[in-house]
Amino acid sequence: MVTKYKAEVYDLMQYFHRAVFEPSLRSVIRLSGHIDEKVLSEAVTLSTDAIPMLRCCFSEAQRGSCWIDKGFTGQDMISVVEAGPDYEQDKSRLLATPLDIFHGPQLKIFILREKQADTLILILNHMVSDGAGLKEYLYLLCDLYNKCLEGRSIPKPLFVSRSVSPLFAKFKLSAKMKILWAKYDFAKLIKPVDLGLEGDKTYPITASLSISPQEFSLLKAWAKNKGFSVNDVIFTAFVRVLSKQIGQKRVIVPCPVDLRKYLAEDQRKCITNLTSHFICDLQIEDHDSFTTTIAEVSRQMKEQKDSTACLKPVLWFSLACKLLPLSLLRKVFDKLFIIPFISFSNLGLVDAGRLKFSGLDIVQMYIGGALRYAPYFQVTATSYQGACTLACNFYGSPGDKIKIDSFLSGLVEELARLSSQSLD
C-alpha cells in the first residue's frame, strides 16, 4: 500500500515559488577530518521517520497534492565526491545541484572529500522546511549520527507535525477576524529593484564572506550599547548598501519573520516552514548616519512585532487551501504574496552545542538560500561559533559575480565601520 502525506499550506506556498526560481536551502559544514559516511547514511535514514517528506516525491494534483513515500534512504541522498585541485569550484558546483522533487528525495548531501578533511554540502527542498527548521534538522542529524557512531539503541524518531493549524490555535474568532482584515500591503508595496545584474542560467554563483568572531563581537557590543538587535544592525547595513548600489534614497525591503513565536513553547522546534514578512519602507538621505537609519529600522520593526498583521496572507491562504483547487490557489497566492525581488534573511545563531559530529570539529558552517535568477537577489546571514557568514546564491554572469562580491564586501565594510566605533 502506498503511503501518502498531505501537502500542507506552506508546502504549496513554496511550490508556487517555482514560477521564478527553484526553492531550496543550502548548508555548508566544513569539518576538521573525515566523517563516517556509512554512519551518516544510517542517521539520515533514521531522520526520515521524523520528517518522512525527505524520502518522498511530490505529486501535484488539482485537489489533494501530496507527498508519496518512495522509501528513499540515506544511501539515496548521500554522495561522496573526491575534491579536485580547486576546492571552491567543486563546492560551488555541488551547491548548484538541483533537486528533482517529482522523482527523487527532497534532500541531497554531498561529502566533498579532501585528503585530510570533508565538507558536507546539504541541499534541502524549501517546501520541506525554512531556515529555522533546517537548523533543527541539522541538530537532529548530529544527534542521530553520534548515537549511531556509539552503537546505541535508538528509538524511532517521532513524526514532526508540519501543519499550519497550531499557528492560529490560540487566536479566538475575533482575533482571527482582526488578522484577516488587517492592513498589510506586502504585495502592493514590493516593487522590482534593478541591481544591474545580467543573469545567466548556466553560470551558478555561490558567494560568501565571513565576519570574524572578533569583529562580530564588537558589532554585538555596539548593538547592545545602543539598544538595538543584531538583526537590526545587519539589516540596516544591508539597506544602506542597497540604497547606494541602486542609487535610490527610498528603499522598501521585506524582512522575514519567524512565526514560531505564536506556537506553544514545546512546538517551536518544528521542522517546517513558518515565516512571513515585515516590511521596512525607508528614506535614506546621503547625510544620514548609520544610527539615524537603524533607529528608523528599529522603530518600524517594533511596531510590526506588536501587530499580528503579518499573519494575514498566511491565514487567508490557509482558508483558501480548504476550498479551492490548485489552479485557483495559484491565483490566490499571486494576489496575497509577491516573491521579493530583493531580500535579506538573517538565519540567526546556530547552536554549536547541538551541531557537533562526534570526534570532529566544525571549522566553518553557514546556511544559504536558493540560487536565484535575475532580477531576484538575496543575502543570508548565519552566526556560528562567534563568526557571521554572509552568503548569496545566484545564476549570473562573471560580471555579476564581481558585482555580488562587491555588494558583500560593501556590507562587511559598512559593519566594520561600526566595529571601529565600538572601540572608541
State the DSSP H helix or E strand holding residue 226, giving kind and residue range, or none if neither. Answer: helix 213-226
User: Are domains 4-149 and 170-423 of this chain identical in fold?
Assistant: yes
Closest residue by Cα to residue 335 from 10, 13, 40: 13
Q: How far apart are CA 399 and CA 396, in angstroms?
A: 8
Which cell goes with 417? 565601520
pLDDT at 264 (0 to 100): 84
Which residues, listed in sequence order, are joined to residue 342 by a DSSP beta bridge? 377
Euclidean distance between the first and final Cα of the chain, in Å? Answer: 69
Task: Count the neighbouring beta carbons within 10 Å of the beta carbon of residue 150.
Answer: 10
Going by C-beta distance under 8 Å and a sequence separation of 6 or more, which residues neighbour residue 383? Answer: 216, 230, 348, 349, 350, 389
SS3 363: strand
Residue entry with cell 554572509? 390
SS3 165: helix
pLDDT at 191 (0 to 100): 76
Dihedral angle over CA of 290, 296, 302, 305, nearest 10: -100
pLDDT at 423 (0 to 100): 55
Question: Omega into 204 within 30° of 0, i.e. cis?
Answer: no
Contact predicate 348/315, CB 8 Å:
no
Domain boundaries, the chain: 4-149, 170-423
Which cell goes with 71? 522509501
pTM strictly above 0.75: yes
What secondary structure does DSSP assign to 308-360, as a single string?
Answer: -GGGHHHHHHHHHHTT--HHHHHHHHHHH----SEEEEEEEEE-TTTS--TT-
SS3 114: coil
Q: Digits of tens for pLDDT over the chain (424 positions)?
A: 899 999 999 999 999 998 888 899 999 999 999 999 999 999 999 999 999 999 999 999 998 899 999 999 999 999 999 999 999 999 999 999 999 999 999 999 999 999 999 999 999 999 999 999 999 999 999 999 999 999 888 888 777 778 888 889 889 999 999 999 998 877 677 777 889 999 998 899 999 999 999 999 999 999 999 999 999 999 999 999 999 999 999 999 998 999 999 988 888 888 989 999 999 999 999 999 999 999 999 999 999 999 999 999 999 999 999 999 999 999 999 999 888 889 999 999 999 999 999 999 999 999 999 999 999 999 999 999 999 999 999 999 999 999 999 999 999 999 998 877 765 5
Q: How far apart are CA 136 and CA 151, in angstroms?
A: 23
Q: How far apart are CA 380 and CA 34, in angstroms?
A: 28
Query: Which CATH number describes the domain made up of 4-149?
Result: 3.30.559.10
Which cell goes with 186? 506586502
pLDDT at 422 (0 to 100): 60
- Longest C-alpha distance within the chain, in Å? 69
Q: Does domain 170-423 have CATH number 2.60.40.1180?
A: no
Task: Count the neighbouring beta carbons within 10 Å of the beta carbon of residue 198.
Answer: 12
pLDDT at 328 (0 to 100): 95
Strands 78-82 and 107-113: parallel
- Show the CA angle centred on residue 344, arms to residues 339 and 348, nearest 5°: 125
Task: Count the neighbouring beta carbons within 10 Å of the beta carbon of residue 144.
Answer: 22
Going by C-beta distance under 8 Å and a sequence separation of 6 or more, which residues neighbour residue 229? Answer: 223, 298, 301
pLDDT at 424 (0 to 100): 56
Amino acid at 66: C
Return the half-sphere exposure (C-beta side, CA atoms, 13 A cut-off) of residue 263: 20
Buried b (16+ CB within 10 A) or exposed e, 350-383: beeeebbbeebebeebbbbbbbbbbebbbbbbbb
Instruction: Provide the 8-state DSSP code for 209.
Output: E
Q: Judging by beta carbons within 10 Å of its beta carbon (0-12, 13-18, 19+), is residue 319 exposed, middle or buried?
A: middle
